[in-house]
Amino acid sequence: MNIKVKNGIFITMSIFIIFLILEIICSVFFVYNSRYHGPLIKIFSNNTESQLANDIQAIQLDKSTNKMLPGTYEIDGVTFNINSKGFRGKEFDLENKNTCRIISFGGSVTLGFEKAYPAVLETKLKKNEKNCESLNFGMVSKSLNYIEDLMINEAIKYSPNIITIMTNRNSTMYDSYGSSSITPDIISNNFDFYIYKINKYLFSKIMTYRFVDLSYRRMVSWLYKAESKIVDPYNPKAFHLINYFEFKYINQITNIINFCKKNNIKVILIKEAYYLDPDYQKSLKNLNKEELLTKLINYHKQKGENKEKLFWMYTNAILNNALDEVKKQNPDIIVVDPTDKLYMNAKNINFTNDGNHLTNSGHEIVANEIYNSIIKNLNL
């Protein structure tokens, strides 16, 4: 064996050992930092209990799948059935055997409590002799980043005919701090989608890559902070990125729409109500994006006002209005706006307990608005 071959083997083995050491370090880091179990950790760990974390609704979250742990949960007298796929509701087949399968994405508002609008919607459709199955993919504290990933990497396997998306407050809370990773802002062709899939695979399987990717995002976020003027209402040293409200939220939804178009899936976007000051919030609907962005950027300078309330009213209005902008660019999608009826019924029907999460009456209103839009616009 000549010296060049020996050197080549030595260099290759050295690189492999260094990578393995880095992978072990990063794998351990993510277990302690976010309780995420990468492939190396899963080899040596069969303890499901160590992968669990209690969320605000006491439903256990399996960190290895980033979904709810299957089982039955009793919370304040309400039974939550989490099926084997990690979603609320009955078991369902991989194969779509119905004439219509609807998947509803969102956060805890979609997940629901005693009632949930996806289940109410299925009941309404079946009463009208529509053979439809409505699946609830709502998850506590999940935002548009999660929804995009869930749709492209898992939900597509269940062959939905229609998807609905409701995400506003969670997307502001979790997504507007950060930036995109190396994936394209708009996935408009097969090459972009190929890059997206490779990135997602490496991100979930290679912990060294995951660490580099997250570090990159944080570095870009830090650089953007100098340009961002949106101060967090809870921490004056934290910032939300203005470009998220300008175009990134729209870009992400557009990615999902483009993906759905290629797979012949109809898209329904749902505006989210946040009951804080309904009269003022109705007036915000008359403002354009630039006017709303100006109010959001300067909200913390106003005196004698509840700054936290202003922040949430402005972000809610901007992201809800963004859905109309998406509709103009994609006329074949449906935008459902239940906010007026929710606010109108607020004095007579208690549609929310905390301004955002829906009561049984609230879920009925949202389901009815979606139902009317489906019957009017889609030929089931």
Q: Is the pLDDT of residue 51 over 50?
A: no
Poorest-confidence range of 183-187, 213-217, 240-244?
A: 183-187
Between 2 and 106, where is the model more confident?
106
Q: At the topology level of CATH, where does 93-377 sit? A: Rossmann fold (3.40.50)
Tens digits of per-residue pLDDT, 195-204?
767 777 787 7
Cβ contacts of 7-11, under 8 Å, gap ≥ 24: none
Q: Which of 325, 342, 254, 333 is nearest to 289 (CA)?
A: 325
Question: What is the average pLDDT across 168-174?
Answer: 93
Which of 15-29, 103-117, 194-208, 335-349 is the most confident on average? 103-117
- Going by pLDDT thresholds of 50, 70 and 90, the confidence category of residue 74 is confident
Poorest-confidence range of 52-61, 124-133, 201-210, 334-343?
A: 52-61
Q: Is the pLDDT of residue 171 over 80?
A: yes
Poorest-confidence range of 45-54, 70-79, 280-289?
A: 45-54
Q: 177 with 218: CB under 8 angstroms?
A: no
Q: What is the pTM of this model?
A: 0.82
At 250, which amino acid appears?
Answer: I
- Going by pLDDT thresholds of 50, 70 and 90, the confidence category of residue 48 is very low
Between 147 and 275, where is the model more confident?
147
Looking at the chain, the whole-number percentage of residues with pLDDT higher than 70 is 83
What burial letters (b/e) apply to 205-227, b meaning 16+ CB within 10 Å? ebbbbbbbbbeebeeeeeebeee
**pLDDT, position 369:** 97
Tens digits of per-residue pLDDT, 19-42?
889 988 888 887 776 566 677 776
**pLDDT, position 304:** 65
- Please report, for the chain, the start and end positions of each structural domain, with discontinuous segments joined by +: 93-377
Q: Is 77 exposed, middle or buried (0-12, 13-18, 19+ CB in 10 A)?
A: exposed
E-assigned strands of the chain? Answer: 52-54, 60-62, 67-68, 71-75, 78-82, 100-106, 132-138, 162-166, 230-231, 239-240, 266-270, 334-336
- Going by pLDDT thresholds of 50, 70 and 90, the confidence category of residue 52 is very low
Q: What is the overall mean pLDDT for the chain?
A: 84
- Going by pLDDT thresholds of 50, 70 and 90, the confidence category of residue 240 is confident
Q: Which of 157, 107, 160, 113 is nearest to 135 (CA)?
A: 160
Give the CA diameter of the chain.
87
Poorest-confidence range of 94-108, 229-243, 329-343, 353-367?
A: 229-243
Question: What is the average pLDDT across 214-237?
Answer: 71
Q: Is 290 exposed, middle or buried (0-12, 13-18, 19+ CB in 10 A)?
A: exposed
Tens digits of per-residue pLDDT, 76-88?
888 899 999 999 9
Rounded CA separation 363/319 (Å): 21
Between 180 and 286, where is the model more confident?
286
